[in-house]
Amino acid sequence: MTPDEGERAARDWVAHLRSGGSTRWQEWLESYAAAPSGEHVEHPGRPGHAERPERCEHPDRPGRLPGAGQLELLRRLAGAAAARTASTGAADVDRDAAVFAALADRTLNRTGPGRGLPELPLPMPGAGSADAPAIGPRPVDPDDVPLEELVRSATGLLVSELVSAPSAEVASPPAPPRPRRRLLATRYVVDGAPISSAAVRGALRQAGHVAGGSRATVVLVAAPLDVALAQVWSARAQHSAAARWQAFVSRSVRLGALPRAVDVAALARHWSDRVGVQRVHVVLDEDPLAGAAAALRLPTGPAPAPPYPPDVALTAAEVDLLRRVNEVLAVRVAADRADAIRARLVASLAARRRPAAPMRLRVPDQHLPWLQQHAARLREEIVRDGYAVHGDPARLGPLHEGPDRPLPDEVLALLLESVLDAAGL
């Protein structure tokens, strides 16, 4: 293939991607090489998309091809959009074609936020080593673009889509409905592992019980320490934090202390000083709602309530997506608008799957002994100090299950789906 033919193949491939196609670069070149001389090779894009859009260059820099990273991100977006259409059907084919073409232009015109690789040139067929640039990055096949680089670019694209949405579309999600108060309502305070605690509070509120009061029963929801740590990481990301999982754990180790919500013995001492030891209950039940019902002496456990941001159950990949978005939102918009955008994003993530999948992350292996020592201390203190314990104190020990960090391929898949949602596809 001559350099001119390679250039034409590349520009036609960009047009193919922009029209919703998802053929890989090498597969595209093989089709070109196999075609009889002078014949143009057509690869269908998304159903209903124009096969040959007018523009197949860098949208803002005519004559220059987009980078390999942007092209690979667009190819994966096209694949995700096609899979979505195949499973749900397209309500308006022409409208979807126009929306995807506009999204493609925005994708090709963006680089990722923060530090990362520069815009990587596409390897052109027919070009020899003498044609490689003397300075700057070497050409890279789109299939070889690092996954972390695609995640970085997709994060920037998602934030741009969320920020550019009309204000009405990023208003905070509705607050939970005000339930009817029971005639003989139980007064309660729920504290502890933040995601589980929020679920228990929501269920009690929905059942008509009343939070607070001088004679309230305090329910402390505990969990295996690595699970509780992951819940704190999730809750902080839902309130704008941007720390990576491993950095979050390492910081706790450096400080030599568990986060407040995880140290159930310290929480129990805090509340017993206010309401007395006899009113403090530590719930270690595998079902926190059942444990809370036992602590509050309710005849039946409260039914789970629908989740309302913040502090909803998210997977590790969803939390990692959120903390990446937080990092960019912090420098793009004012805090109140960032809060509204984040709340809408959390609601969208939480609504994507029901019931909520449990988060499974283990702490880095070098920090496991530290966590096990804290678990042994907590077990000893809550039993020694005489609090009512519902469940087995041995459950405080870390499970040490799952990966030691969110998986980038899962994060990228979620980013692609979130970008399509934000774009209206």
Q: Tell whether the model's pLDDT for residue 340 goes beyond 70.
A: yes
Mean pLDDT for the stretch of residues 41-60: 46
> How far is 12 from 19, CA to CA, in rounded Å?
10
Range with top average pLDDT, 4-8, 271-275, 299-303: 271-275
Classify 28 as helix, strand or coil. Answer: helix
Q: What is the mean pLDDT of the chain?
A: 85
pLDDT of residue 93: 83
**In the block, residue with structure tokens 């941007």:** 242
In whole angstroms, what is the distance from residue 157 CA to residue 149 CA?
A: 12
Q: Which residues of 236-251 are buried (b: 16+ CB within 10 A; e: fewer)?
A: bbbebbbbebeebbbe
- In angstroms, the CA 89 to CA 263 distance is 49
Percent of the chain with pLDDT over 90: 59
Q: What's the average model confidence in pLDDT over 65-72?
A: 92
| pLDDT in the model for residue 185 | 65
236-251 tens-digit pLDDT: 999 999 999 999 999 9
At residue 5 the predicted structure's pLDDT band, cuts being 50, 70 and 90, is: confident
pLDDT of residue 110: 81
Please determine, for residue 56, whether its predicted confidence score (pLDDT) is greater than 50: no
Q: CB-based contacts of 410: which residues, under 8 Å, 6+ apart?
A: 315, 316, 317
Give the residue from 345, 356, 344 showing the smallest Cα distance to 314.
356
* Alpha helix ranges (H) inside 302-367: 316-332, 335-351
Mean pLDDT calculated for residue range 52-64: 47
> Is the four-CA dihedral 102, 104, 109, 115 of positive or negative sign?
positive
Per-residue pLDDT, 178: 63
pLDDT of 266 higher than 70: yes
Average pLDDT over residues 257-277: 96
Quick one: pLDDT at residue 50? 39
Q: Tell me the DSSP string of 382-423.
A: HHHTT-EEES-GGGGS----S-SS--HHHHHHHHHHHHHHHH
The per-residue pLDDT for 53 is 37
Task: Record the tokens describing residue 387, joined without a space.
Answer: 């609090």
* For range 340-364, the mean pLDDT: 84
Neighbours of 290 (CB within 10 A): 17
Q: Is the pLDDT of residue 54 over 50?
A: no
Q: To the nearest whole percent, how much of the chain has pLDDT over 70?
A: 82
**So what's the pLDDT on residue 367?**
97
The pLDDT tens digits for 168-226 are: 454 455 556 565 655 556 789 999 999 999 999 988 888 888 888 778 899 999 999 99
Per-residue confidence (pLDDT) for residue 114, from 0 to 100 = 63
The answer, yes or no, to whether residue 305 has pLDDT greater than 90, is no
Query: Using CA atoms, how far apart are residues 375 and 378, in angstroms rounded to an integer?
Result: 5
pLDDT at site 127: 58
User: To 10 degrees, what angle do helices 194-206 and 288-295 make?
Assistant: 60
CA terminus-to-terminus distance, the chain: 37
pLDDT at 52: 38
Return the higher-pLDDT residue of 3 and 262. Answer: 262
Q: How do residues 9-45 score in pLDDT, each as one tens digit?
A: 899 999 999 999 999 999 998 887 776 554 555 555 5
Mapped onto helix, strand or coil, the DSSP state of residue 210 is strand
Residues 113-172 have pLDDT tens digits of 766 566 778 887 765 544 555 566 788 899 999 999 999 999 999 999 999 987 545 445
